[in-house]
Amino acid sequence: MSAAVQEMSTRCSQAERLAEFARVTTDDVDEAAEQIGRIFCPHHLTPAQAPGFSARHNCAAFDGFSVNYVAYGGTVGINPGCLDRFFLVQIPLTGTAHICAGASGFDAAPGRTASLLSPTVPTRMMWRDCAQAILLLDRRMVEQRAAALSGRTAGAVEFDPAIDLNAPSGRQLQVSLAELMRLAEGLGPSGRLSSVAMADWREALLDHLLNGQRHSLSNAIETFSGGAERLPRALRAARDYLLDNAGEPLDLAQLACASGIGIRALQLGFRRHYGVSISTMLLDMRLAGLHARLARASADVSITDIAFDLGFTHLGRMAGAYREKFGETPSVTLRRRMS
């Protein structure tokens, strides 16, 4: 390992994430551009001083999205042009970065500002001893959901590139990305998410982006979502569909189809009529499902296995919600069944 890479390892040891998912560790500029380009997209790297350059990229891939840790030692110019295939959320962990996305230019720094890069907007960046947590989302997935939310045919979606990490939506996005990284680290390279949990994460990330961040279809989504409070029958149909399919991966497009109203109207309607979000109601249904399965479980049952099958990925949070709902922990329910 070269001196530059060793120096970066020492400097970033406290901040490095996804260490078991290492893809690239090098102090060679051409090698870094080629290997990281294979994971993201082809791009030009221009270090201010080649002897101080180093690069690291760790990546945990899921279905439709991935979480990444990328760090560059020294000052490095990065010019990917248009990303084409994906959207990128970049949250600085250490150092700073200057981002130019289309006509916008701004500085990104830990705890202050992150960036959201759209595939059709030309981008160039300057990272200064910078490490970032990066969320990559498949372009087609985001554009199809934006079309369903806005009632339009699928097409390009372009986000405001600067994310205020002190705004509620920015904080929520940062918390979710940190939680997803912890989940990936806990699972390890050989672990897997259940299809139910994978769908839940896709829905949560799409909601953070399309309903939490401003973009070119934000106004169209707000217009198309009007009038949800006038459709209690459709909301009851959606609730019944959730109940019948609580053990299946959540797909808001299918839920909207079953209820006969648009996705955003559905989301607003749940909050206005039921006082909870769709995901909160689904959580309650899954907790009830977990309780029912434990109440009839055999002696060799694994609470963890049942919880993962039902889409729970944070067992501590699940146990807390279960205790709040039923007044006891899942293990107490199971022991009472065995007694």
193-221 confidence digits (pLDDT tens): 888 889 989 999 999 999 999 999 998 88
Reduce the DSSP state of residue 6 to 3 states and report it: helix
pLDDT tens by residue, 2-50: 544 444 444 444 479 999 999 999 999 999 999 999 999 999 999 987 6
Amino acid residing at 145 = R
Assess whether pLDDT exceeds 80 at residue 337: no
- Which pLDDT score is estimated for 26? 95
224 or 81, greater pLDDT? 81
- Is residue 231 very low, low, confident or very high in pLDDT (cuts 50, 70, 90)? low
* DSSP state at residue 274: I
294/315 Cα distance (integer angstroms): 15
What is the rounded (10 degree) CA torsion for 292, 295, 300, 305?
A: 30
Residue type, 191: G
Cα end-to-end span (Å), the chain: 58
* CA pair distance 147, 236, nearest whole angstrom: 24
Q: Return mean pLDDT, the chain.
A: 88
Q: What average pLDDT score do residues 56-68 get? A: 96
Contact assessment for residue 146 and residue 96, using Cβ atoms and an 8 Å cutoff: no
Residue 320 confidence (pLDDT) above 90: no
Tens-digit pLDDT profile for residues 127-172: 999 999 999 999 999 999 998 888 777 789 999 999 999 999 999 9
Of residues 127 and 322, the one with the higher pLDDT is 127
Taking residues 264-292, what's their average pLDDT?
A: 87
If one counts every other C-beta atom within 10 angstroms of the C-beta of residue 98, the result is: 15
Q: What size, in residues, is the chain? A: 339
Q: Which residue has the tokens 């299918």?
A: 254
Q: Tens of pLDDT along 75-105?
A: 999 999 999 999 999 999 999 999 999 999 9
